[in-house]
Structure 1
Amino acid sequence: MTNVLIHELLEQTQVLVTRLRAALRDVPGDAASALLTRATIDQADKPRMVLTGQYSSGKSSLIKALTDGAVQPDIDADIATGEVTEYEWDGAVVLVDTPGVQSGLRRHDELAMDAIGNADFILFVVTVNLFDDASRDFLRRLANGLQMHGQMIVVITQTSKRSAADGVREQAVQDALGTVTFNLPIVEVDSVDYMRGLEGGKNADAFRQRSRIDDLRATINRVSAERGGLARLRQPLHLVRQLCDEAQGLFAQDDTSRAALALLTSQARAISQRRFMLDQSFARVDAEFKRDCLVDVVGFVDTASTLPDDEAQARTVLEAAEARLIESLERHATEFAERINQLAGSEFDTLSEELLEIGESNRLDLLLRPSGAVSLDAPDQVRADTSATSSQAGAAIAVDWQKIGDLIKRGQGWWGAGDGLKQASGSLGHKLVKDVGHTFGYKFKPWQALKIADKIGKAAKVGGFVISAGTAGYEVWKNEREARAAQIQSERQRSALVTEIMGHADKIASDARRELAAIIDPPLNKLLDEIRASQDQILNTESTRTSAAGELQEIATEADRLLSLSADVAPAQGEGDTVE
């Protein structure tokens, strides 16, 4: 696996923070002390991943495999275990092992549900024997009744024991959910094979590949990215990178280097902060969009579940309700898109103001008219003073201060700073806002694109998959017990239909997050790369080459690598697809 997964991020970030603090600890002055104070990671907000399912479904073995054997749950005590047990996964994720449910022990079910209520992710674990009535009902309760489908992954264990034709297990999960087109992410694994692979030997790679535990990790990563959790876990890495930038100025030996590093650091910090704020704001409008959709979806399902006895009249009522639903969902999508446009414009306006202030700094004059030994061969280049601190021989490396100064000033023009983004046609900021507006503008009709009338109509039509209306549904109620059973079935069907539609809402939101990132990340990353290349050019001069400064550069480089790898998350599978 090449991607950095969520369970690795916090641990590796903490290693970098420890190195950063060690590099700064012996540096005198208030500036270093202030950086040390900021070089901490909040440990309180670790994602909680709850494993649930029936007893003897392989939850404990799965925990052992996910943690590469670092955690050794009591695998033989599944049904007897009456406690919720928490394990640290590389110090970054809390794995929560719950008692097996539907075992006839009410206390076990209550403990599992309490843990699920605090979950960020849910691994619903079943064996290759798949679903009986109890496990099917529990899956529906979580995914449909509690509407937790957006944070669930179905993990089918012990897959090496029994093969299945393509699509059979995926269909079994969909049948258990009771949906027509919507399905949960599904990964088929074998924990025993994975642990055998860890033992080594000539077949180690084959065992590991066959186990598909790495596929499960990648799926967890993708779900985290779609829900915004991965961005929150990456934020401490951005902090480490920012602190490295700021700390490098402490080791610069001349005013020109210090001024340049300070301005470049301010640029990088402004860009990173605006991107983070945009992501945080997106999470809020994402939640509002889903909340608004859910209200109308439930209203539609209520109507579809209480249709008149007459089939023709029922169909008329249903079609009118569906038309109102589509209209309201499109309205919510339009409002969602408008909020994204507003957020992007606001954040880029703020960024333009910040870059304008940086570009107008008095310190920029020092860069463009530096003191020092000017090379006659290259008038715009200055050779840094190599006396005093340099411990290495050889000629000094020339720094192109004019180019660095232009980079700082050019940031204004790129963003239309000072003129407002709307008036700065052709600037980078204007183009980004325009691209966001184009993507989330008048063409943003995601519900129509999904042909909801076909998919949902088929699911809800009279006498079809979900709805049994009027006398067709009530004639079988011969007694109170049958009536109660029919009522329960109706409630299950209603919940499944809500999941059917809200699954599309989740996909729209996750697609919107990816599309927004695809627009803004490439140009922002390119700008950051240019800024950091200029920083490296300054820091690679003889005058700033100290062991502490070198350590900071190594920390910054590693932070960049982790940020790059953790951002490289594969796009979501198509609707109803599985990870194989």
Structure 2
Amino acid sequence: MEQVKYVKYVKEIEKIKEDFNNIVSGISDKKCNTLMNDYMNDITENSEKDSLEIAFIGQYSAGKSTIIAALTENMDIEIGQNITTDKVTEYKWNNVILVDTPGIGTEQKEHTDLAYRHMDLADLLVYVVTTQGFDDLIAKDFKRIAFEHNKAPKMMIVVNKTSLESMENKVNWENDIKKVISPSTLEDFKVTFIDAKSYLDALEMSDKELKGALMVLSNFDGFISQLNDFIKEKGIIGRLVSDLNIVGTYLDGILNEISTDEDRKKIQELLVRKKFLVVENRKNIDRKIEREVQNLYTEIMNVSNEFISKITSNIKSNEISDEFENIKDKVETLCSNTGEKIEEIVDLELDSLIKQINALENTPLYKELLNDFSKDIDFNVNLKDKQDLEKLKKAPDALKDVGKFLGIAGNGFKNWCVNAESIGKGLKALSGSDAHKFVLDVGHFFGKKFKPYEALKIVDKLGKAGEVLSKVGSKVGIVVGIASPLIASYEEYQEGANEKRLLEARTETRNNFRTWANEIKSNTLNKKDELLAKIHDKELENINNRINSLRNEEMLQSEQSKSLLELQNRIGSITKRINANL
């Protein structure tokens, strides 16, 4: 029965490929011809594959290369915290080809393009994230790949670097993933949690006990079992869907080429360039704040370790009170310093973005577009000169689009590019404008009023320590509550208890500090997400709406576009049926 279904879908896919070729053959466009040549090369390459191919994809430094090194036990594969993969590399594993792709969260567009191309060519995809989970950008990227590009049927999710956090957080990791993959389930994507580096370390470990502990920590045997099941269950689906993915990708490219006239293409290109600047700036802010927050977490844990080490059987009770005040001040200072660093990051990055957006007006494309219109009309509108607003109202619609392209967002960016004298001068040059006030408000997200260490919602997570914390409630009280196991054991020790109880209390207190540090980290990252949503995400939404509006206006007038859109719907339909029935 499965074989009958497979043959049926093969015939349907061949018909889709035939219809695609027939539609595009009637299009007279050099770029479309180039795209079709590339398409034929990819389709041919895909049909000539002998082995099943699995591409490892995802953000940079998620550990894709490390996982492949662990699977193949190839210690020559370069791994590390920075970008280590800048090309596509294939490795043999049993009867399967593992494809290592560049990360898709970098500033290097060619890396992303390489990774995306091999997502189409690969039979199956393993999407790798860390225990940090899906931030907004990674989540959008995943949804686009899985659902918009119909690759979900051939995808598996692997969460790597579990040793960086306590496995007690697994439920939280799973809940975060569920939000991104809904309405699909964890089982649909065979979500697996591993630590590939621990497995590699185990391979080189001579001590059997330590080797075994690292193997358990890595969960790599469980991953291999899941991967084999994934291959068995989805291998056929992957082979079928790969051709559909390739057709879908090139169909999108050709739709983009024929959806607009030349002037609208230029406007779209300007919008795309602006979008790229906003996306890259968002990544930069996101990455830099994440780094500062992780440093803050580490420093808080260092402070806690220093504090815990001082609570011994020899310390006097009055000295413990002094240590409470000391650690409270240190954590406050660390949070304050981090807030100042983040403010500076936001200020400098937004300053840079403003300059880059302003600079778009000096590009040949922008000037060429204005020149094109000046040939057809007897005036040349100065888009930044208020006295020409009446002329602009009379200008062709497409020219009005040029005027909109730098400031389409509303409250976020609308005044960043309206004053010609401010070009290149950054935020200070925008003093008094709505945009400047907006940026200052955002920059102050992490100012003096932001005190993540005061979050009392951690009470529920601290057990008995939480009872102490809920009673005291001051900033010093947080430390008292967190350290309550150590306080109790110290008092017990003074009454004759043994050292073992003091040691156990140290461990419990360290865990409480870790909970507090994680809460501070979470609160700060939530503020970061709020910041990015208010500035970049709102702007990206407006840019995308404008691009889609431009495309839709022209697509309605094109029979070829209509045929391609119908074909696109057929691809989505058959992909869903393949996933449901095979």
TM (norm. structure 1) is: 0.49
Q: As a proportion of its length, which structure holds more helix? A: 2
Q: Which structure has more RCO (C-alpha within 8 Å, separation ≥ 6)?
A: 1
TM (norm. structure 2) is: 0.48
